[in-house]
Structure 1
Amino acid sequence: MLSTGPQLRLLLLLSCVTLVLLFQVTNAKRDFKSACSTCQQITDNFNKGFDRTAKQNFGGGNTAWEERKLSKYETSEIRLMEIVEGLCDSSSFECNRMLEEHEELFETWWFKRKTKHPDLHKWFCIETIKVCCPKGTFGPDCNACVGGSDRPCHGNGMCDGDGTRGGDGKCSCDHAYKGEFCLDCIDGYFNEVRNDTFSLCTECHTSCKTCTSGATNQDCDECKEGWEEDDQEACVDVNECSTEPSPCTEDQYCLNTDGSYSCKACDKVCAGCTGAGPDNCQACASGYQDTEGNCTDIDECSQPESVCTEEHQECVNTKGSYVCICSSGYEEQDGQCVQTVQPEKEDESEASETTTSPHGEL
């Protein structure tokens, strides 16, 4: 029997080996998908380059002579090289590595296979270097995705590894669908049409948490929160605003919505309210008074008893309040209105000048 020390070391070693293997498997799956993506990019760029050079020639002065003597530009090695030069960005390591490893295959296809195999992606990526699979298939052997290669995941999701030599073929279902085959509906949706190969999930009525047969509020199996079943077994809105006490604070009013509610601020003239505006106040805020059902501003400055009691003060009314200011010719100093000091006027004296005749008296 092993001692505790060797046992622990063995367990740690096994754990490390397992983690390494998992890491390698994960990376391998990622690499398969990445390799196919790179190959797709290369063949897409090749097709773009092929279109770009469709109307070009050798660029010399006598094109007819060149084509007669050097073969046509359309099928020439020069055109091939011009296309190949534009397949990868200089910064794309994976693209340039794949191109460098398989550059001779482009020559083979260009001169010997193009006529019989016009689809470069299929010939190069799928059939020759085998980093991709046909659409609707996945994995090393290009097995059909769940639901078949024509409609992976029965048309309601994405097959993991679709079109690559990686992935496990499991479905990632679109919104509204769930299950291994993406034929079942999530909560809030029901199968409007369903058979072994096709499913159409339609949204339930907004009041339903679940439903199975229709899109009305009478088709709910269970009502959503904020809704309740009535006497006709239909889900109807719960009016949270009718409950006592109100779910809102004193300076807010409750606004009911389908399946919920919201709290809105009362008008600033109100001290509590039942709705928006100054005509829905439960009471008027300080500085306001009820005038025929509306809360209106109190003009404190027009009251019989003056609210500004200090000497040389004037009252200025504001919404919901008032302010006391010093009268004209006065300014506030230490809480008192004192007369403004006027700058002394300089005495204006007219300088009298003795005017004498510029000419002497004869």
Structure 2
Amino acid sequence: MLSPCLPQLRLLSCSIILILLFQAGDTKRDLKSACSTCQQITENFNKGYDRTAKQNFGGGNTAWEERKLSKYETSEIRLMEILEDLCDSSSFECNRMVEEHEEQFETWWFKKKTKHPDLHKWFCIDTIKVCCPKGTFGPDCNACIGGSERPCHGNGVCDGDGTRGGNGKCSCDHAYKGEFCLDCIDGYFNEVRNDTFSLCTECDTSCKTCTGATNQDCDECKEGWEEDDQEACVDVNECAKEPSPCKEDQYCLNAEGSYSCNGCDEACTGCTGGGPDECQACAEGYQDVEGTCTDIDECSQSDPACVKENQECVNSKGSFICICSSGYEEKDGECVQQSDEKEESEASETTPGPHREL
């Protein structure tokens, strides 16, 4: 008989595994972060060293002070002034690292600086061991893929490069792929390639994949391109196809590997291009005048456009409107004379009042 607590044990076991996995991921991040912090500390130390190069003890008698207190250049006071400015007050990790290793800074300052002038190498790499030399990674500072001189064969970034973290795998630059960053992505080809060096060059714009730089070197054409009789990839003119890929009130404009649909001019019913001179037929309210669809002025025609009494015609693009003449108003679809009261009211609004001298 199975123990009733077995499922709980399985659940506990899975939880422990997940915690360990998360901790392992955090450890890798912490290792990279520790190196970054140490790098920043040593950079700030060098800036502080330069900043204090021409300073002294600050007293009135510098010669006496240096005779009694030793030279400011190599003094503990100068070291403390530099250490005070290594970290922002809000940077916990930086301040913790400086506090933990203050003795190492003193050792380097008084005993190692002459023989080991590179503080980053002595402190971060060799002493507290949070960083690695460039081109190496991990706890043992192993060489990145491709070698420490040219990580990822110069075509990518090594994970953990220069830190005690990471896995050494390559993140390839654009155009490159593969474990060693020696292969080319689609759209690029190896112009030069051997076991340690690769140069990927972009294919012709018509190629999806290729072996050379021209449109005759395509292995496969991109969408919107097709092989011609010479096995070269050439542009497909989608606008020449029947039926047109565009709507009736649009015209097709071809482009390399593609096309676009654009609206016809309002004067057109169907068109072959933009503008009123590219119409297949003129829209209602327009007429063809020497090959261009032009607005018809209905108001100037021999037959009146507005036939009701006391109406006036106002032309507009492709159309016209009928309005009542001055002094008339529309009522029940007819233009009737305005009432005397309304006329007097409108007149008073436009007539200036009496002018009085002050």
TM-score scaled by structure 2?
A: 0.92
- Of 271, 274, 277, the residue aligned with 1:273 is 271
Question: 2:246 corresponds to which residue?
Answer: 248
1:100-149 CA-to-partner distances (Å, cap 9, x unmatched) read: 11112111111111111111111111111100000000000000000000
Q: How far does residue 18 in structure 1 lie from its aligned partner after superposition? A: 1.3
Q: Which amino acid aligns with 2:289?
A: T
Q: Does 1:176 align with 2:175?
A: yes
Distance, in Å, in 1 between the alignment partners of 2:292 and 2:332 is 40
Question: 1:359 corresponds to which residue?
Answer: none
Q: Does 1:283 align with 2:281?
A: yes
Q: How far does residue 9 in structure 1 lie from its aligned partner after superposition? A: 2.2
Question: 1:77 corresponds to which residue?
Answer: 76
Distance, in Å, in 2 between the alignment partners of 1:322 and 1:283 is 20
1:51-81 CA-to-partner distances (Å, cap 9, x unmatched) read: 1111111111111221222111111111111
* 3-state SS of 1:341 partner: helix
Q: How far does residue 84 in structure 1 lie from its aligned partner after superposition? A: 0.8
Classify 1:70/1:335 alpha carbon distance in 2 versus 1 (closer, same or farther; 3 Å): farther
Q: Which amino acid aligns with 1:303?
A: Q
Question: 1:16 corresponds to which residue?
Answer: 15
Q: Does 1:68 align with 2:67?
A: yes
Distance, in Å, in 2 between the alignment partners of 1:331 and 1:108 is 103
Distance, in Å, in 2 between the alignment partners of 1:121 and 1:330 is 95
Q: Does 1:115 align with 2:114?
A: yes
Distance, in Å, in 2 between the alignment partners of 1:236 and 1:166 is 50
Question: 2:190 corresponds to which residue?
Answer: 191
Q: How far does residue 336 in structure 1 lie from its aligned partner after superposition? A: 4.6
Q: How far does residue 188 in structure 1 lie from its aligned partner after superposition? A: 0.8
Distance, in Å, in 1 between the alignment partners of 2:229 and 2:126 is 66
Distance, in Å, in 2 between the alignment partners of 1:36 and 1:6 is 45
Q: Does 1:2 align with 2:2?
A: yes
Q: Which amino acid aligns with 1:91?
A: S
Distance, in Å, in 1 between the alignment partners of 2:126 and 2:174 is 35
Q: How far does residue 333 in structure 1 lie from its aligned partner after superposition? A: 5.6
Classify 1:130/1:329 alpha carbon distance in 2 versus 1 (closer, same or farther; 3 Å): same
Matches within 5 A, 1:318-333: 318-332=316-330
| Greater CA drift, 257-266 or 196-205 | 257-266
Q: Which amino acid aligns with 1:341?
A: E
Q: How far does residue 311 in structure 1 lie from its aligned partner after superposition? A: 2.9
Q: Which amino acid aligns with 1:251?
A: D
Give unmatched runs, 5+ long, in structure 1: 347-362
Distance, in Å, in 1 between the alignment partners of 2:254 and 2:207 is 18
- Of 326, 331, 343, the residue aligned with 1:341 is 343
1:8-56 CA-to-partner distances (Å, cap 9, x unmatched) read: 2232122112111111110000000011011111111111111111111
TM-score scaled by structure 1?
A: 0.91
Matches within 5 A, 1:1-362: 2-3=2-3, 5-212=4-211, 214-332=212-330, 336-337=334-335, 338-339=337-338, 341-343=343-345
Distance, in Å, in 2 between the alignment partners of 1:286 and 1:75 is 95
Q: How far does residue 312 in structure 1 lie from its aligned partner after superposition? A: 2.3
Structure 1 or 2, whichever has the larger Rg, is 1
* 3-state SS of 1:342 partner: helix
Classify 1:309/1:10 alpha carbon distance in 2 versus 1 (closer, same or farther; 3 Å): same
Distance, in Å, in 2 between the alignment partners of 1:116 and 1:203 is 49
* 3-state SS of 1:323 partner: strand
State, as a whole percentage, how many aligned pairs show the same letter: 81
Q: Which amino acid aligns with 2:285?
A: G
* 3-state SS of 1:180 partner: coil
Distance, in Å, in 2 between the alignment partners of 1:112 and 1:240 is 78
Q: Which amino acid aligns with 1:297?
A: D
Distance, in Å, in 1 between the alignment partners of 2:113 and 2:312 is 99
Cα RMSD between the aligned structures? 1.7
Give unmatched runs, 5+ long, in structure 2: 352-358
1:262-303 CA-to-partner distances (Å, cap 9, x unmatched) read: 111111211111111111111112211111111000101012
Classify 1:105/1:336 alpha carbon distance in 2 versus 1 (closer, same or farther; 3 Å): farther
Distance, in Å, in 1 between the alignment partners of 2:181 and 2:158 is 11
Distance, in Å, in 1 between the alignment partners of 2:256 and 2:58 is 72
